[in-house]
Amino acid sequence: MVKDLQSGKTLHSHNASNSFVPASTVKLITTATALEVLGADYRFKTTLEIEGIISADSVLQGNLIIYGSGDPTLGSSKLGNINFLNDWISAVRKAGIKQINGNIIANASVYDTEGINPKWLWEDMGNYFGAGAYGISYKDNTFEMELRSGAVGTTPEIVKITPNIPELTFKNYLRSTTIRFDSAYFYGAPFVNERSIYGEIPANRPSFKIKGDIPRPGLVLARDLAWKLKSSGISVTGIATDEAGVSGRRTVIYTHLSPKLTEIIQEINSNSNNHFAEHLFRHLALQSGIQASSPEAVKRINAFWKSKGLPVDELFLYDGSGLSTVNAVSANFFVSLLSYMDKSSNNSVFRASLPVAGKSGTIRNFLKGTSLEGRVQAKSGTISRVRAYAGYINTNGNRFAFAVIVNNPNSTSTIETRKKIEEFLIRAQY
């Protein structure tokens, strides 16, 4: 579907009101909703809180609590301050604490415990791109595994895991082969400290790195904070835990702010960051005043766009990243959303978050070398037997919104499907 944004005229339409699996183009819905509901300057807040009293000799008789709000940028390699724990240590010192007679607790209860969306495929769980969304996120909820591979046909050796997760065990079914790229993948459920590794990596590599999801990121953060406190001379007599229980009266000693939403949606749309998208998606449910969950986020999103007159009867949403194969959205809904955002006060921020065809992000190869290179800002979506694009076309001083969603194409090549979509957009009369 292609629509002229100035005249409002639909130029091309084929099965536009039928809903199809949209893959990562769903991120347009997540980010547009967040901008409209939360605002471009919105920041996630994570608080350091003390439970108990600080004695005259600077001893906290009680627990130090990390209270999360679902900030996906804590310790992220993609965005934010990776050394943020230094600020937290300074805050503890400023509060006059030299010793903690209690535990370091990561409280992630702001989100429900179903970190992995039940509508995701089992084969995606355990992998970094399918990492869970929790009330406390840390280091992109991703660990890095270093491997050492030998001769073809042998099992690669696990050298180390970063960050260190002592309780996490692995069943290693990997093989060293003549492959030249990473074809390894993890299987594993949330909160379960066992992962199985399948697939292949190149043979005879002294060091080869792959990534998987951290089952309990809050626990890893609590441990790192406890270690940082001790190494900074602040003793901790208790344990690091993510089992919050019922807290008593608490006092906030520090508030950690994430980067602005503007920067977060830039990472989501430009680089198709599933992890950020899922946390933002669930965070929307908090505006309902209850514990955040995927079902509540869906209700919030549907209600918002229904109030704006969009065709939500063509929107069947189950997650915020597009990883679920049961999501279904029509081209008409996408074009309606893009048209709405074109008139929104958040238009410039929203557009700036989209990569440019042939130039940047996940569409740097899309329309490259064609008359539309540099003139299209869009979000792409690709999962098995799905290819989708939705965004804006700017040409000859005119603006257009478009959405193309292809499911189960006759071609088995995603490149061939992409080329056919490119041909359609180039041939269209603007």
What digits encode the pLDDT tens for the residues 175-187? 999 999 999 999 9
* The pLDDT of residue 428: 80
Residue type present at position 180: R
What are the distances in angstroms from CA 104 to CA 51, 190, 361? 10, 22, 39
* The pLDDT of residue 410: 85
Q: Where is 223: in which H helix or E strand?
A: helix 217-231
How far apart CA 196 and CA 98 sit, in angstroms, is 42
Residue type present at position 106: A
In the predicted structure, residue 170 carries a pLDDT above the cut 70 = yes
Tokens of 174: 């990997």
**Mean of the pLDDT values across residues 79-96?**
96
How far apart CA 242 and CA 113 sit, in angstroms, is 12
**Of 321, 414, 329, 322, which is closest to residue 365 (Cα–Cα)?**
414
3 state SS of 100: strand
Contacts of 166 (CB under 8 A, 6+ apart): none
In the predicted structure, residue 333 carries a pLDDT above the cut 90 = yes
* The pLDDT of residue 199: 96
In the predicted structure, residue 316 carries a pLDDT above the cut 90 = yes
Residue in the block written with tokens 């006059």:
96
Percentage of the chain with pLDDT > 70? 98
Assign 24 a pLDDT band (cuts: 50, 70, 90).
very high
Better pLDDT: 287 or 411: 411
- Name the pTM for this structure: 0.94
Tokens of 241: 């835990």
How far apart CA 381 and CA 143 sit, in angstroms, is 25
How far apart CA 254 and CA 374 sit, in angstroms, is 44
Domains of the chain: 2-42+261-427 (3.40.710.10), 45-112+216-257 (3.50.80.20), 137-213 (no CATH)
In the predicted structure, residue 405 carries a pLDDT above the cut 70 = yes
* The pLDDT of residue 323: 96
In the predicted structure, residue 244 carries a pLDDT above the cut 90 = no
How far apart CA 16 and CA 314 sit, in angstroms, is 10
What letter would DSSP give residue 10? E
* The pLDDT of residue 114: 86
